Amino acid sequence: MTALNATQARNEWSAVLDSVVREKPQFIKRTRDYMFLADISVLEDILTAYTFHAEIFTEDDGSLTASLDEISLVENGTDMQDALHKLGAAILEYANDFYNNYSYWARGDGKQHIPFILKALVINNVEKIGGLIKCRRGEI
């Protein structure tokens, strides 16, 4: 891996940032630590492979319950649009909580949530997140 030394990156910080935004991502090495610095659009491109999926259940009262596959989140709404909106809001709320307590949540099983957390944080829009959820009918 070609990595820029952290001291050099610090000394040339403005040029490094310009290069990262206009040219390509950069790997940076500090002692034994390696970091990846990139424009947010690179992260968006990486995360396109990650999709939210939910199972939709029709309740006895006619409402719909959406159960997210990737993260244990469940929301109920009066119709599909309402259920997905609420699930989108729950995803974004969970993403913010996860990020704010990253050192706790990113351990163990929480690691598998990281790409979905980053995707929600990058999108940062409940309607867009809800609109990205791919649904399938479930059975009660």
Q: What span, in angstroms and rounded, lies between the C-alpha atoms of 7 and 33?
A: 13
Cβ atoms of 48 and 29 closer than 8 Å? no
Do strands 134-137 and 74-77 pair parallel, antiparallel, or not at all (unpaired)? unpaired
Question: Is residue 106 domain-shared with residue 61, that is, in the same domain?
Answer: yes
Specify the DSSP class assigned to residue 136: E
What CATH number does residue 100 fall under?
A: 3.30.160.620
pLDDT tens profile 9-65: 999 999 999 999 999 999 999 999 999 999 999 999 999 999 999 999 999 999 999
Q: Which residue(s) pair with 65 in the sheet?
A: 57, 76
pLDDT tens profile 74-117: 999 999 999 999 999 999 999 999 999 999 998 888 899 999 99
Question: Is residue 103 domain-shared with residue 82, that is, in the same domain?
Answer: yes
pTM of the model: 0.89
Q: Indicate whether 140 pLDDT > 60.
A: no
Question: Is residue 19 domain-shared with residue 78, that is, in the same domain?
Answer: no
Question: Is residue 62 domain-shared with residue 116, that is, in the same domain?
Answer: yes
Q: Whole domain around residue 30: which residue ranges?
A: 4-38
Q: How many domains is the chain partitioned into structurally?
A: 2
Question: Is residue 22 domain-shared with residue 52, that is, in the same domain?
Answer: no
Q: What span, in angstroms and rounded, lies between the C-alpha atoms of 55 and 136?
A: 5
Write the single-letter amino acid at 65.
T
